[in-house]
């Protein structure tokens, strides 16, 4: 590694904050030189198979020629323009695509900067909807435990208050109502009594609840849990029965990851509001969208404020919209469903058997997502170092070692990811002993 690279890493360690990392004792960061396909090249010489899709966002691999060209062509026209009073073709085309692809009834689109902001927008939509109907008592949110919806303030208020990452802010967050997390896994036998506790909360609190928010089928950062589609169906029915808006947070699950284009399709339901983000641009630029029904948009627009009270500076950024259009076109044209099915079959064959390891509590697979849940928490610094030595990029947290690689990964590369996980499961220094 050159002196220049060493200086970059030294400055980074001393001055730049990374996600969920201490500045006094930061976790190591690895300096990236380039990335192409599913491989990340470090300046230190290692080439790593990416198992994380840069936190669920990279869909078609890095440095894709079609997505690169979409950026170049749009940049030659204009890279950004305010969305207040102006519009542009990439945004209009993307809006059409999202309305056509998402579940029926989601006919209005609001673009924003990131997934967390998309959740903020959804919550504001729900609150302003009831305000516009002069039902100001409906001002609270309901959700389930083990959920995760982002790091901004309203989003934090519906993340798990105990096992989540935001309990330090409890005193200043909105007080949401939390139901037990779904207990029945996706392939287990369904029992109707699963919904008794949730319905009791709806019955007790519906007069004050504006919206119920949940991650459809997959609870991500809250434990990588895959729950039963019937739970989602029942939630839709409860929201209808008790006049509560239903928000589906599809930021992590949208656009094919679970084996359905949107995870709501597992239950054949449509929410009142849907949040999209992460992989929307194929991992190129930050962009999110919040879709809602005509009824919500009309009610808000004809209410006291006569408009929806939100407007990010970089709303509907043309570069992001252009690459999102190209990414969605690639996904649809390249038979995404078959690609996800192939990945799922290989993960079933190679990752599920890791359940036999002493350190493993459970293994599970859904679509292109593979999860190994361990008995002991990982030592992030040590296990990250070992993964780099083994030629893969996997970023575990807590007791979860999970992968969701780009859809373009080949069988040999996927096997390398699974074999790396298998290797660290035999190494004690990659885990924190619990006594």
Residue pair 218/224 in contact (Cβ under 8 Å)? The answer is: yes
Contact 158, 176 (CB under 8 A): yes
Q: One of 10, 20, 96, 298 is an active-site residue; which one? A: 20
State how far the alpha carbon of 30 is from the alpha carbons of 27, 47, 287, 404, in Å.
Answer: 10, 12, 25, 20
Q: What is the largest CA-CA distance in the chain?
A: 65
Annotation marks residue 249 as catalytic: yes
Among the options 148, 231, 284, 402, which is catalytic?
A: 148
> Residues with Cβ < 8 Å from 57, sequence gap 6 or more?
278, 279, 281, 282, 283
Q: Among residues 50, 113, 249, 272, which one is catalytic? A: 249
Element holding 429 (H helix, E strand): none
Q: Is 215 exposed, middle or buried (0-12, 13-18, 19+ CB in 10 A)?
A: buried
Bin 20: left if φ > 0, else alpha if -120 < ψ < 50, else beta.
left
Q: Which of 108, 124, 260, 278 is catalytic?
A: 278
How far apart CA 86 and CA 170 sit, in angstroms, is 40
SS (H, E, C) 268-293: CCCCCEEEECHHHHCCCCCCEEEEEC
**Cα-only R_g, the chain:** 22
User: What is the distance of C-alpha 29 from the center of its chain?
Assistant: 23
d(CA 328, CA 336): 10
Q: Are 344 and 367 in contact (CB under 8 A)?
A: yes
Query: Could you write out the DSSP letters of every residue in 358-409?
Result: TTEEEEEEETTEEEEEESS-B-HHHHHHHHHHTTEE---BTTEEEE---TT-
Sheet holding 209-214, edge to edge: 108-112, 288-292, 273-276, 245-249, 209-214, 140-144, 177-179
Tell me if residue 20 is catalytic.
yes
Rounded Cα–Cα distance for residues 152 and 112 (Å)? 14
Are 401 and 419 a contacting pair, CB within 8 Å?
no
- In the residue annotation, 242 being an active-site residue is answered as no
Residues catalogued as catalytic: 20, 148, 249, 278
């Amino acid at each position: 590694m050159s002196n220049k690279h060493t200086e970059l890493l030294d400055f980074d360690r001393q001055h730049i904050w990374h996600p969920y990392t201490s500045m006094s004792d930061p976790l190591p960061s690895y300096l990236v030189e380039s990335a192409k396909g599913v491989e990340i090249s470090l300046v230190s010489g290692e080439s790593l198979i990416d198992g994380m899709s840069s936190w669920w966002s990279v869909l078609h691999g890095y440095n894709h020629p079609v997505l690169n060209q979409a950026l170049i062509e749009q940049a030659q026209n204009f890279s950004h323009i305010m969305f207040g009073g102006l519009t542009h073709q990439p945004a209009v085309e993307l809006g059409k695509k999202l309305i056509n692809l998402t579940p029926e009834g989601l006919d209005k689109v609001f673009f924003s900067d990131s997934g967390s902001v998309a959740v903020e927008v959804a919550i504001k939509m729900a609150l302003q909807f009831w305000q516009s109907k002069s039902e100001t008592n409906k001002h609270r949110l309901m959700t389930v435990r083990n959920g995760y919806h982002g790091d901004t303030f309203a989003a934090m208020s519906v993340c798990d208050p105990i096992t989540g990452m935001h309990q330090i802010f409890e005193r200043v967050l909105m007080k949401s109502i939390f139901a037990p997390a779904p207990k029945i896994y996706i392939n287990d036998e369904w029992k109707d009594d699963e919904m008794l506790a949730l319905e009791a909360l709806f019955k007790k609190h519906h007069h004050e609840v504006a919206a119920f928010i949940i991650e459809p089928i997959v609870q991500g950062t809250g434990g990588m849990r895959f729950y039963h589609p019937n739970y989602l169906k029942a939630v839709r029915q409860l929201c209808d029965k008790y006049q509560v808006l239903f928000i589906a947070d599809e930021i992590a699950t949208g656009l094919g990851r679970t084996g359905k284009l949107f995870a709501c399709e597992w239950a054949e339901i449509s929410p009142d509001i849907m949040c999209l983000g992460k992989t929307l641009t194929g991992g190129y630029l930050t962009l999110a969208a919040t879709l809602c029904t005509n009824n919500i948009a009309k009610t808000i627009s004809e209410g006291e404020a006569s408009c929806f009270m939100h407007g990010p500076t970089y709303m509907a950024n043309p570069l992001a919209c252009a690459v999102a259009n190209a990414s969605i076109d690639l996904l649809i044209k390249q038979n995404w469903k078959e690609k996800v099915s192939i990945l799922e079959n290989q993960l079933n064959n190679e990752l599920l058997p890791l359940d036999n390891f002493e350190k493993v509590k459970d293994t599970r697979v859904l679509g292109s997502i593979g999860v190994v849940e361990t008995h002991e928490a990982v030592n992030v610094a040590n296990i990250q170092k070992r993964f780099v030595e083994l030629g893969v990029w996997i970023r575990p947290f807590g007791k979860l070692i999970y992968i969701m690689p780009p859809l373009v990964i080949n069988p040999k590369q996927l096997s390398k990811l699974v074999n790396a996980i298998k290797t660290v499961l035999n190494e004690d220094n990659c885990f924190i002993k619990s006594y």
